[in-house]
Structure 1
Amino acid sequence: MEEGKFLGVIVTNGGFKANPEKIEVVMNMPSLKTIKQFRWTVEVKTVFQEINLRLEELPTLIASKTKELQVIYLAASDRAISAVVLVDRDSVQTPIYYVSRILADAETRYSTLENLVLSLV
C-alpha cells in the first residue's frame, strides 16, 4: 500500500503527513461575527487566512536512515516545552520527530535551563 490513514495521519512510503480532512475543518471554519466571539478586523481576518494556508503546507515527518546525522532543537518557556529532531536532506531540514506539552504546575517553577533538560528527556 502506498498511502493510508493511521491514527489520524496519512502514512506514506515517504513518511507521515497531516490528514487533509482534519485540516479542512479549520480551513472551513466560519469567520466570527459577534463582539462576544472576537473583535474581527481586516488584519485579524488576513492573519487567520495566513494560518490556514500554513496548515496546508505542514511538513511531512520522515523516517531516519541508518547513520544519518540528526539534529535536535529544544525550546522552553515558563509554560511549555518542546523538542524536534531533524535530518538534513538535500539542504532542507526535515522533521522526523517532535513533541511539545504544557508544563505541570510544579514544573512552571523550574528554571529555563531545567525546562530545557526536561524537554530533552
Structure 2
Amino acid sequence: MLVKSRTAEDHLQNLSIMFGILKDYRMRLNPKKCAFGVSSGKFLGFMISQRGIEANPEKIKAIIDMERPKTTKDIQSLTGRVAALTRFISKATDKCVPFFKALKGGKRDITWTAECDNAFQALKNYMSKAPLLSKPLPGEILYLYLSVSGTAVSSVLIRKPEKAELPIFYVSKALQSAELRYPPLEQLALALVVSARRLRPYFQAHGIKVLTNQPSGKCSRNQKFLAD
C-alpha cells in the first residue's frame, strides 16, 4: 500500500482518508512494516522517489554480474531477470531474441553463439544505464510510440514537458505463430492492442497520441527511445 502526496499538508489529509478506509474494513497495519513521511523507498520491487521510478539496483546488478550462460537453466534465469525489468527496457523482446534461439531444441547444454554473446554484452551495457521512468501530471497528454520488428511488437509511453521527451513505461511482446505472418498494418494494430492492455490505467486517465515508425501511420521525428 502506497500513499503519495505533493505537499506535507496533502499527505496528512490523504493518510487520514486511508486510515478511515482501513477502519471501515477493520484492517490493521503492522507498524514494523510501515514507513511514514519518506521521500523515497522501495515499493513492489522498484525504487520510488520524487524523481520518478527507478529499477531496483539489486536486480540490475544481478544481470550485470551474471556470467555467460552455459545451460538452458542459465538462460532461463537471465530471461527471467530481464522479464522483471521489462518496463525499463526498450525493445526488451528484441534484445532477448538470440537467447530464445539458443533455447530451441530443449537440450540441457546450449550453443552459445557470437550473436548471443553480443546480445548479452549489449544488454549488460543497457542495464548499466537503465532509464529513470517519469510520472505524468494529472490530465497531461501522453505519447505512445509503436514499433514493429520481424520478431516482436514494442512501444514506449512518454511525456513531453517543456520540449523534453521522458519515458514512462516500455512494453514489448514476442510475435507468436500466426502473428509472425500478419501484414505490417495488422502487426501495428497488435502493438497498439498489447500496449493499451498493458497501459490501461494511463489510457483511462490521459489523452494519448499514438505515433509509429511504420509508413502506414504518423512517423515521429525522434525515435531515440525505441532505437536502443
TM-score (norm 2): 0.43
Q: Report the more deviating stretch, 22-31 or 105-114.
A: 22-31
Matches within 5 A, 1:3-14: 3-14=40-51
CA separation in 1, counterparts of 2:140 and 2:180?
35
CA separation in 2, counterparts of 1:86 and 1:74?
11
Offset of residue 59 of structure 1: 1.3
Residue identity in the other structure for 1:119: A
Q: 1:25 aligns with which of 51, 62, 65?
A: 62
The number of equivalent residue pairs is 114
Q: Secondary structure at the match of 2:138?
A: coil
The structure in which a higher percent of residues are strand is 1
Q: 2:142 aligns with which of 61, 64, 70?
A: 70
Q: Secondary structure at the match of 2:160?
A: strand
Change (3 A) 1:104 1:53: closer
Question: Structure 1 stretches of 5 or more lacking a match?
Answer: none
Change (3 A) 1:78 1:54: closer
Calculate the aligned-residue CA RMSD, in Å.
2.7
Offset of residue 111 of structure 1: 0.9
- Contact 1:77–1:115 at 8 Å: present in 2 too? no
Offset of residue 71 of structure 1: 1.6
Offset of residue 118 of structure 1: 1.1
Offset of residue 78 of structure 1: 2.9
Q: Which has the larger radius of gyration?
A: 2
The corresponding residue for 2:224 is none
Aligned residues: percent identity? 34
Question: Structure 2 stretches of 5 or more lacking a match?
Answer: 1-37, 71-109, 194-228
The corresponding residue for 1:111 is 183
